[in-house]
């Protein structure tokens, strides 16, 4: 009977490793984002990154959509997620507001485990569609960015409670 428990434990660990590989195999292929910084144009001159806040109406739509989403309840308290919006103006990315999500709600800024970026054109769809379908569409259109300092194994462990939402994020 004790050997049976050891075999089950080993099979469980193997299952989690395989699940992690499947769940995070496309993460490195997704477009990665980082926090805005200065960038150089073709002539070598440094350009300041443009930041434009969302309108109050847009902020309210995003907050309502995030707070009513199912997955916000399962975000680990110790590993929050940030969501930042952007759009393009003359081939330059323009950053907008950041929302910080922790277990069950919006939280104060801090160190994030995962940083997501989403094109702001999807804000208008928040009234018509659920957040999960919008994220799936944005991911398919390459309008969803993902960045984390964690390895795939660390991500699997730290966000294991969110595995049930992997279809939502397209992983």
Tens of each residue's pLDDT in the chain, 171 residues: 666 666 555 655 665 566 555 555 544 444 333 444 444 444 444 556 788 999 999 999 999 999 998 888 899 888 999 999 999 998 899 999 999 999 889 999 988 999 999 999 999 998 888 888 899 999 999 999 999 999 988 988 999 888 888 888 765
Q: Please state whether the predicted TM-score (pTM) of the whole model is above 0.85.
A: no
CATH number, domain with residue 56: 3.30.1050
Q: What is the pLDDT of residue 41?
A: 46
Residue 65 resides in a domain? yes
- For 108, phi then psi, to 5°, come to -75, 155
Q: What is the pLDDT of residue 38?
A: 41
Q: What is the pLDDT of residue 171?
A: 59
Residue 125 resides in a domain? yes
Q: What is the pLDDT of residue 120?
A: 96
- Whether the CB-CB separation of 146 and 134 falls below 8 Å is answered with no
Residue 20 resides in a domain? no
Residue 138 resides in a domain? yes
**Nearby residues of 70 by Cβ (< 8 Å), 6 or more positions away:** 132, 165
For the chain, the domain total comes to: 1
Residue 4 resides in a domain? no
Domain that holds residue 145: 49-169
Q: Which helix (H) or strand (E) holds 15?
A: helix 2-24
Residue that the structure tokens 């399962």 belong to: 74
Residue 11 resides in a domain? no
Q: What is the pLDDT of residue 45?
A: 47
Q: What is the pLDDT of residue 26?
A: 47
């Amino acid at each position: 009977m004790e050997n049976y428990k050891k075999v089950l434990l080993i099979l469980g660990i193997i299952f989690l490793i395989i699940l992690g590989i499947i769940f995070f195999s496309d993460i490195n292929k997704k477009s990665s984002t980082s926090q805005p910084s200065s960038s150089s144009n073709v002539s070598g001159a440094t350009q300041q990154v443009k930041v434009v806040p969302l309108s109050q109406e847009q902020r309210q739509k995003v907050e309502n959509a995030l707070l009513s989403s199912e997955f916000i309840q399962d975000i680990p308290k110790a590993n929050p997620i940030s969501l930042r919006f952007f759009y393009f103006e003359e081939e330059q990315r323009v950053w907008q507001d950041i929302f910080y999500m922790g277990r069950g709600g919006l939280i104060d800024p801090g160190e994030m485990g995962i940083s997501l970026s989403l094109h702001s054109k999807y804000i208008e769809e928040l009234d018509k569609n659920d957040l999960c379908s919008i994220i799936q569409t944005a991911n398919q259109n390459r309008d969803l960015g993902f960045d984390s300092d964690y390895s795939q194994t660390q991500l699997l462990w730290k966000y294991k409670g969110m595995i049930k939402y992997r279809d939502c994020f397209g992983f």
